Amino acid sequence: MSSTLLLKNARLIATMDDQRRELTDASILIRGSLIEAVGPANELPTSADRVIDLSGQVVLPGLINTHHHMFQSLTRVLPAAQDAELFDWLSALFPVWARLTPEMARTATRTAVAELMLSGCTTAMDQAYLYVNGIQLEDSIQAASELGIRFHAGRGAISLGQSRGGLPPDVLVEADEQAILDDMQRVIERYNDPAFDAMVRVAVAPSSPFTVTRELMLETGRLARAYGVGMHTHTAENWKDVEFCQSVYGMTPAQYVEEVDWLGENAWHAHCVKLDDPGIALFARTGTGVAHCPCSNMRLASGLAPVRKMRDAGVKVGLGVDGSASNDSNHLLNEARQAMLSARVRDENPAAMSAREALELATRGGAEVLGRAAALGRIQAGYCADIISFRCDDISLAGAQVDPLAALVFCTPPRVCHSIINGRQVIADGQLLSAELPLLVEQHNQLATKLLGT
């Protein structure tokens, strides 16, 4: 019989179930990788194979990151890109990224995952779209698995270079699109786990309308549907993105993704800052999801996504930190805070998003976007045991005890206290158990220096 883990005596458990129950003085019983029971502490067992006392702590489902480019952790705050909008930012960074190596990709992934986990993230999606100098998707999967996060690996692609009207320099392009499709099929067959509690899933993830061809979009969509996997790309990120679609394809970004059949329950699109009203209605009608990345959108001056309008229309919305060269952080709880603040600024209305709704985007919203609403994003019997806790006596929450759940968003603690992923503890008392952070930071900085040639 599977071993049991009891998380006992929590001050507050925000279940994020359909009733949005918030339980005080409550406990959670985990058996193996699944939650067996959650409820008042006096109604649950007082012993188990292992017990963690959560007295005075606030407990949430693990946070879910729906969009990232983890290799970018090596190129934070690059001076030439600090004050640039999306296209100029990419143009400054593309030549640097051309020097990436497999070792750099693995180390950057470890760094990004470690930082995400310490912020409360338990599931992360990475859109890895650069395959230069021998880099393969295995580099990302291996590194993420070592840290213990639940991982959705996006086999991205860049196939439309400058010589054919795209934005990237040709040196970054995978010219043989059949080879791209073959490799996507290979990694799906080898690594995608369709199981309920899968720790690794694979998605197809061509980068954007200005970096891949129409033909590749069509074929990757067909491949994804044939294998029943997710499909992810960038859409309507800023005004230049919209202008590119209109000038090259003669249509809006929403019309383009409809034309190439990139809609549906297994599809989600990053940013969607400039998604128009017909596009929002289209996404809602087809069950297409959105990865909302407020920090990156503001950092690159792309704009503020119409999240309130999307949610009211019925669009599935989760959060993404985006790449660390455009955020420049991997802190998912802070992304929830920025989602709340940016929604209020956009609509000039404090009712545009509450703290609890921001946390909902970061938990069950992300699970819906990744197609895992039946397994992740809630603390509920039968769900995967992905659970995080925060201390209420941290200085960041001083004076915020009247509503400690909302305080997680308004005040944003810098680090999670405990984290359980798939029933296994990966963070204890704020310390990551699966990596030596000082060593990882040292390795990462050495490789970043080498990459930048400084």
Would you state the pLDDT for residue 1?
72
DSSP 363: I
Domain coordinates of the chain in residue numbers? 4-61+376-432, 63-369
- Contact (CB, 8 A) for 251 and 259: yes
On the CB side of 417, CA atoms within 13 Å amount to 18
The beta strands (E) that lie in 83-132 are given as 121-128
The Cα–Cα gap between 378 and 264 comes to 23
The beta strands (E) that lie in 4-44 are given as 4-14, 22-31, 34-40
Residue 268 backbone phi and psi in degrees, to 5: -145, 150
290-300 per-position pLDDT tens digit: 999 999 999 99
- Contact (CB, 8 A) for 291 and 369: yes
pLDDT tens-place values along the chain, 454 residues long: 799 999 999 999 999 999 999 999 999 999 999 999 999 999 999 999 999 999 999 999 999 999 999 999 999 999 999 999 999 999 999 999 999 999 999 999 999 999 999 999 999 999 999 999 999 999 999 999 999 999 999 999 999 999 999 999 999 999 999 999 999 999 999 999 999 999 999 999 999 999 999 999 999 999 999 999 999 999 999 999 999 999 999 999 999 999 999 999 999 999 999 999 999 999 999 999 999 999 999 999 999 999 999 999 999 999 999 999 999 999 999 999 999 999 999 999 999 999 999 999 999 999 999 999 999 999 999 999 999 999 999 999 999 999 999 999 999 999 999 999 999 999 999 999 999 999 999 999 999 999 998 6
Would you state the pLDDT for residue 110?
98
Return the sign of the alpha-carbon dihedral for residues 297, 303, 307, 308. Answer: positive
Would you state the pLDDT for residue 276?
98
Return the sign of the alpha-carbon dihedral for residues 27, 31, 32, 35. Answer: negative
The Cα–Cα gap between 272 and 251 comes to 15
- Contact (CB, 8 A) for 28 and 71: no
What dotted CATH number matches 63-369?
3.20.20.140
Domain 4-61+376-432 belongs in CATH node 3.40.50.740: no
The beta strands (E) that lie in 55-196 are given as 57-61, 63-65, 121-128, 150-157
Nearest to 365 by CA among 351, 381, 353: 353
Residue 35 backbone phi and psi in degrees, to 5: -80, 125
* H/E element, 346: helix 332-347
Query: Is there a cis peptide before residue 241, judged by omega within 30 degrees of 0?
Result: no
Return the CA Rg of the chain: 21
Sort 154 into a burial class: Cβ within 10 Å, 0-12 / 13-18 / 19+.
Answer: buried
Is 4-61+376-432's fold the same as 63-369's? no
58-87 per-position pLDDT tens digit: 999 999 999 999 999 999 999 999 999 999
The Cα–Cα gap between 16 and 35 comes to 14
Structural tokens at position 105: 């990709």
Nearest to 66 by CA among 240, 291, 269, 360: 291
Whether this model's pTM surpasses 0.95: yes
Within 10 A of 22 (CB to CB), how many other CB atoms are there?
14
Strands 230-235 and 200-206: parallel
- Contact (CB, 8 A) for 93 and 108: no
The Cα–Cα gap between 176 and 215 comes to 12
Would you state the pLDDT for residue 454?
65
Would you state the pLDDT for residue 109?
98
Write the CB contacts of 154 (distance below 8 Å, at least 6 apart in sequence): 125, 126, 127, 128, 129, 202, 203, 204, 205, 230, 232
| Cα-based angle 317, 319, 324 (whole degrees, multiple of 5) | 150
| Cα-based angle 156, 162, 166 (whole degrees, multiple of 5) | 55
